[in-house]
Amino acid sequence: MNLQSEIPLEYMIVLSTAVFFIGLVGVVIRRNLITMLMGIELMLNAVNINFVAFNHYLFPHRLEGHFFALIVMAIAAAEAAVAIALIINIYRKFSTVSVDDVDELKY
């Protein structure tokens, strides 16, 4: 299946940009650490779309974007694992997962 004639690359990228910024809004507005993490996941996925789309549209003879996306996923998994471990630890310490209360590391 060749999408090039059907859907221009720009659509894909605009879509990914939109998702990226939605994820950003999520990170900025939510104070719950877990929801912030979800926002970050959204952003990561947005980037993945880019990789994949560029691979598919511009360099179909190679697999770099594909592998990059794969690696990003792996890293996202590792990040999520560590982040969740941190969140649980923070919850134990502060009995909350709100970033507002976790601001010890300042000036």
Partner 1 sequence: MSGPKIIFFILAAAILVFSVMSIFSRRILRAAIYLLFVLVSMAGLYYMMNFQFLAAVQLILYAGGIVVLIIFSILLTSQINSTLDPPRKSHLLLGAVTSVLGLILGATTILKYSFQASASAPIGTDMRTIGRHLLGTGAEGYALPFEVITVLLLAALVGSILIARKPKV
Partner 2 sequence: MDYAYTLWILTLPVAMFLTIGLSGDRLKSNAAGILGTAGLAVIAALSWFTAFSYFGSGLPESGFQPVIAAQTTWLAFTETLVIHLGILLDPLSVMMLVVITTVSLMVHIYSLGYMHGERGYNRYYAFLSLFTFSMLGLVVATNIFQMYIFWELVGVSSYLLIGFYYEKPSAVAAAKKAFIVTRFADLGFLIGILLLSFNTGTFDFAALNDMSGSAIAQPVTTVFMGLSVSTWAMLLIFMGGAGKSAMFPLHIWLPDAMEGPTPVSALIHAATMVVAGVYLVARLFPVYHFAAPDSLEVIAWVGSFTSLFAAVIACTQLDIKRVLAFSTLSQIGYMMVALGVSGYGDEGVGYMASLFHLFTHAFFKALLFLGAGSVIHAVHSNLMTDMGGLRKYMPLTHLTFLIACLTIAGVPPLSGFFSKDEILVAAFEHNKVIFAVQWFVAGLTAFYMFRLYFNIFWNSDPHYHHTPHESPPTMTGPLLFLAAASVLAGFVPFHDFVTTDGKPLETEFHTLVAVPSVLIGLAGIALAWWMYARKNSRPESVAQTLHGLYSAAFRKFYIDELYLFITHQLIFRFISRPVAWFDRHIVDGTMNLIGNTTVSVSVAIKKMQSGELQWYIWYFTSGVLVLTLILLYLN
Cβ neighbours, 10 Å, residue 104:
7
Stretch that binds partner 2, among 7-15, 23-31, 52-60, 82-90 (CB under 8 A): 23-31
Burial code of 2-40, b = ≥16 C-beta within 10 A, e = fewer?
A: eeeeeeeeeebbeebeebbeebeebbeebeebeebbbbb
Cβ neighbours, 10 Å, residue 82:
10
Rounded-to-integer distance, Cα 71 and Cα 93, Å: 33
Q: Is 92 in the site for partner 2 (CB under 8 A)?
A: no
Select 17 or 103, whichever has its Cβ closest to partner 1.
17
Q: Is 99 in the site for partner 2 (CB under 8 A)?
A: yes
Binding-site partner at residue 94 among partner 1, partner 2, none, CB < 5 to 8 Å by type:
none
Rounded-to-integer distance, Cα 43 and Cα 46, Å: 5
Binding-site partner at residue 56 among partner 1, partner 2, none, CB < 5 to 8 Å by type:
partner 1
Tell me, residue by residue from 33 to 62, as one string, x for binding to partner 2 by CB under 8 A and - for no binding: ---x--------------------------
Interface residues with partner 2 (CB under 8 A) are 24, 27-29, 31, 36, 99-100, 102-107
